[in-house]
């Protein structure tokens, strides 16, 4: 048993020695026959530090700038629906017709009452002019005429309400009723969307809402046919307070005129909002290696190139943003070749 324990101890110490030897070789750079490799010629570039506008992305939904949910102002039966879902309509175009028998009867009665009141007033007015009627009789006749005129105008309006018209030009986005349905006052009929003017609603985290302002021009991005389309929008409204549950502030932005073609209500996208300024680190794109999703650069220190893992951000005109892994006083190797290893000696020949 003691012999076995000594053997295990010997193997453990041997493994440790091998690991230390490998670690030393990795740190000191490759060598051939115990001799240091010759320095490799490389080009380098310094890490750049720039003051950049910090942007965040929030989800947004496209909506029509003008939408109308048309409801019935009188009760009756739906006799005709004159439009189809998705059909483009013009302002004042008739969309739905309701049965107006009751309204027609009321109008006929109001017309008859108005005609009688007009005749009565004309007779009293003639007598009053000839001083055969008193002023009070003339006043009562005039009052009856005014009431009859108002009742006739209302009856005529009620009959007109049986023909539901589009308040503006747009597209039929929803139909609620069918021919033959009986509706009451306030029953929804159809919805109209103005499809040439859009707006975007977004919920911005409260901590960022103070950084944006009304009138600010920002970018809204939507996916179209496998590509990303950029749509400029202008912030028009910012809610005064935040939602107590989501801790977000509602922001409404109008799509700039002439660029809303192809959008539709309910379309999803992302709005980019500037929320301050940041110092960002940039390195040339050709200095960054991508190895199975890991981003790496070689940093030159004391005449040697050391491998450094970094976390990258967005691209900026041939430069790559480095979120972590580098500082502003470091130098990186440009277009490192495959034979460059961690700890390899290098000789800098120039900079681009």
Proportion of the chain above pLDDT 90, given as a percent:
41
The sign of the torsion formed by the CA atoms of 130, 134, 138, 141 equals: negative
Is residue 138 in a domain?
yes
Instruction: Dump pLDDT digits (tens) for 132-155.
Output: 888 998 999 999 999 999 999 988
Q: Work out the widest C-alpha separation in the chain, in whole angstroms.
A: 147
Distance CA 222, CA 198 (A): 14
Same domain, 198 and 61: yes
| Whether residue 226 has pLDDT greater than 50 | yes
Distance CA 86, CA 240 (A): 36
Is residue 80 in a domain?
no
8 A C-beta contact, residue 42 and residue 245: no
Same domain, 218 and 252: yes
Distance CA 230, CA 220 (A): 6
User: What is the pLDDT averaged over residues 253-257?
Assistant: 86
Which stretches of 194-336 are DSSP H helices?
Answer: 206-209
Which of 139, 161, 183 terminates a domain? The answer is 161
Spell out a b/e string for 203-235, using b for 16 or more CB atoms within 10 Å of the CB, else e: bbeeebbeebeeebebbbebeeeeeeeebebbb
Q: Encoding tokens for residue 74?
A: 């009188």
Q: How confident is the model at residue 233 (pLDDT cuts 50, 70, 90)?
A: very high
| Whether residue 22 has pLDDT greater than 70 | no
Same domain, 285 and 324: yes
| Whether residue 188 has pLDDT greater than 70 | yes
Is residue 93 in a domain?
no
Q: How confident is the model at residue 105 (pLDDT cuts 50, 70, 90)?
A: confident
| Whether residue 63 has pLDDT greater than 50 | yes
> What pLDDT sits at residue 173?
87
Same domain, 283 and 345: yes
| Whether residue 27 has pLDDT greater than 80 | no
Give me the half-sphere count of Cα atoms (radius 13 Å) on the Cβ side of residue 88.
2
| Whether residue 37 has pLDDT greater than 60 | yes
Look up the CATH number of the domain holding residue 222: 2.40.30.170
Same domain, 300 and 336: yes
CA dihedral 331, 337, 343, 349 (to 10 degrees): -50
Mean pLDDT of all residues belonging to the chain: 84
Is residue 308 in a domain?
yes
> What pLDDT sits at residue 315?
83
Cα–Cα nearest to 160, from 114, 92, 113: 92
Same domain, 256 and 306: no
Q: Which of 41-45, 116-120, 197-201, 225-229 has the lowest mean pLDDT?
A: 225-229
Cβ neighbours for 256, distance < 8 A, ≥ 6 positions apart? 217, 231, 232, 233, 234
> What pLDDT sits at residue 339?
84
| Whether residue 201 has pLDDT greater than 90 | yes
Look up the CATH number of the domain holding residue 327: 2.40.420.20
> What pLDDT sits at residue 51?
79
Is residue 92 in a domain?
no
Q: How confident is the model at residue 322 (pLDDT cuts 50, 70, 90)?
A: very high
Domains: count for the chain: 3
Instruction: Dump pLDDT digits (tens) for 151-180.
Output: 999 888 888 888 899 998 888 988 999 999
Is residue 110 in a domain?
yes
Same domain, 297 and 330: yes
* Tally of residues, the chain: 352
> What pLDDT sits at residue 210?
85
Nearest-Å Rg of the Cα atoms of the chain is: 40
Sheet of 67-71, strands arranged across:
67-71, 188-193, 170-175, 88-89
Is residue 303 in a domain?
yes
Which of 161, 185, 214 terminates a domain? The answer is 161
Same domain, 60 and 199: yes
User: What is the pLDDT averaged over residues 194-212?
Assistant: 87
Which of 120, 137, 161 terminates a domain? The answer is 161
Is residue 26 in a domain?
no
Which one is predicted more confidently, 255 or 36?
255
| Whether residue 263 has pLDDT greater than 90 | no
Same domain, 266 and 307: no
What is the DSSP track for 42-63? Answer: EEEEEPEEEEEEEEEEEEEEEE
SS3 70: strand
Same domain, 206 and 239: yes
| Whether residue 345 has pLDDT greater than 70 | yes
> What pLDDT sits at residue 34?
52
User: What is the pLDDT averaged over residues 31-43?
Assistant: 70
> Which structural domain, as residue segments, surrounds residue 124?
100-161
Which stretches of the chain are DSSP H helices?
Answer: 2-28, 101-129, 135-160, 206-209
Distance CA 347, CA 110 (A): 104
* pTM confidence score: 0.52
Which stretches of 130-244 are DSSP H helices?
Answer: 135-160, 206-209
| Whether residue 252 has pLDDT greater than 80 | yes
Tell me 82's DSSP state.
-
| Whether residue 24 has pLDDT greater than 70 | no
Residue pointed to by tokens 């041997």: 14
> What pLDDT sits at residue 35?
60
- Counting other chains too, the contacts that 142-146 makes at CB distance below 8 Å and 24 or more residues apart are 144/117, 144/120, 145/114, 145/117, 145/118, 145/120, 145/121
Same domain, 252 and 202: yes
Same domain, 248 and 314: no
């Amino acid at each position: 048993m003691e012999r076995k324990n000594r053997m295990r101890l010997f193997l453990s110490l041997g493994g440790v020695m091998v690991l230390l030897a490998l670690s030393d070789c990795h740190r000191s750079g490759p060598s051939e026959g115990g001799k240091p490799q010759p320095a490799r010629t490389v080009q380098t570039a310094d890490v750049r530090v720039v003051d950049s506008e910090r942007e965040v992305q929030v989800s947004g939904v496209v909506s029509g700038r003008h939408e109308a949910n048309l409801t019935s102002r009188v009760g009756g039966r739906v006799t005709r629906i004159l439009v189809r879902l998705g059909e483009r309509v013009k302002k004042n175009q008739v969309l739905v017709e309701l049965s107006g028998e009751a309204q027609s009867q009321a109008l006929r009665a109001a017309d008859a009452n108005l005609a009688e009141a007009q005749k009565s007033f004309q007779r009293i007015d003639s007598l009053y002019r000839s001083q055969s009627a008193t002023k009070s009789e003339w006043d009562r006749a005039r009052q009856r005429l005014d009431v009859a005129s108002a009742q006739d105008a209302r009856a005529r309006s009620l009959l007109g309400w049986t023909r539901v018209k589009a308040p503006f030009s747009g597209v039929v986005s929803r139909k609620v009723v069918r021919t033959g349905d009986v509706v009451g006052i306030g029953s929804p009929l159809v919805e109209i969307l103005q499809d040439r003017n859009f707006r975007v609603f977004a919920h911005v985290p409260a901590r960022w809402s103070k950084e944006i302002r009304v009138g600010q021009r920002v970018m809204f991005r939507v996916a179209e046919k496998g590509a990303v389309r950029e749509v400029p929008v202008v912030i028009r409204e910012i809610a005064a307070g935040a939602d107590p549950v989501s801790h977000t502030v509602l922001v409404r932005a109008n799509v700039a005129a002439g660029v809303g073609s192809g959008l539709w209500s309910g379309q999803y996208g992302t709005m980019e909002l500037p929320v301050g300024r940041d110092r960002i680190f940039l390195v040339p794109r050709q200095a960054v290696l991508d190895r199975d999703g890991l981003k790496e650069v070689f940093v030159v220190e004391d005449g040697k190139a050391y491998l450094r893992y970094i976390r990258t951000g967005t691209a900026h005109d041939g430069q790559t943003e480095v979120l972590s892994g580098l500082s502003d006083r470091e130098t990186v190797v440009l277009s490192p070749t495959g034979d460059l290893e961690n700890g390899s000696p290098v000789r800098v020949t120039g900079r681009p």
